[in-house]
Structure 1
Amino acid sequence: MTKKAYIITGIGVVVGLLAGYLYYQEIGCLSGTCAITSKPLNSTLYGGLMGGLLFNLFVTSNKKQDK
């Protein structure tokens, strides 16, 4: 991976962390039966993972394709 790819993925992780925590604050699960949204740490980490994966989709590869 290039430096640009790490930066894009890192930005995605940060955006996901913020989105996960905001999701916990605004929607969350009050009963405690939801595995991801019942605790702020779980929701924040899950959001960071999903954000990193989502933003990683926008990273282009430098490999040349053979025709």
Structure 2
Amino acid sequence: MNRKTFIITSIGVVVGLLSGYAYYHYVGCVSGTCSITSKPLNSTLYGGLMGGLLFHLFVTSPKKKSE
């Protein structure tokens, strides 16, 4: 994993963490039966995972040199 891939994926994780917590805070789950959004830690970690995966899709693979 090169530096550019790491930076883009890390930015995605941070954006996802913030989005996950914001979703918990503003939408959340009042009854407590929702497995992801009932606790802030679950929602934040899930958001970070999804953000990292989403931003990793935008990383381009290096071109191979043809001889």
TM tier relative to shorter chain: over 0.9
Structure 1 runs of 4+ with >3 Å offset: none
The residue type paired with residue 59 of structure 2 is V
* Counterpart in the other structure of 1:24: 24
Which residue identity does 2:62 align to in structure 1?
A: N
Unaligned runs of 5+ in 1: none
Q: For structure 2, which runs of at least 5 residues remain unmatched after alignment?
A: none
TM-score computed with the length of structure 1 as normaliser: 0.93
Which residue in the other structure is 2:39 paired with? 39
Counterpart secondary structure, 1:50: helix
| Deviation at residue 46 of structure 1 after TM alignment | 0.1
Encode CA deviations 1:6-61: one digit per residue, 9 max, x unaligned. 00000000000000000000000010000000000000000000000000000011
Matched AA of 2:36: I
**Backbone CA RMSD of aligned residues:** 1.4
1:62, 1:14 → 2: CA distance?
25
Alpha-carbon distance in structure 2 between the residues aligned to 1:40 and 1:65: 47
Letter in 2 for 1:46: Y
TM-score in terms of structure 2 length: 0.93
Q: How many residues are matched?
A: 66
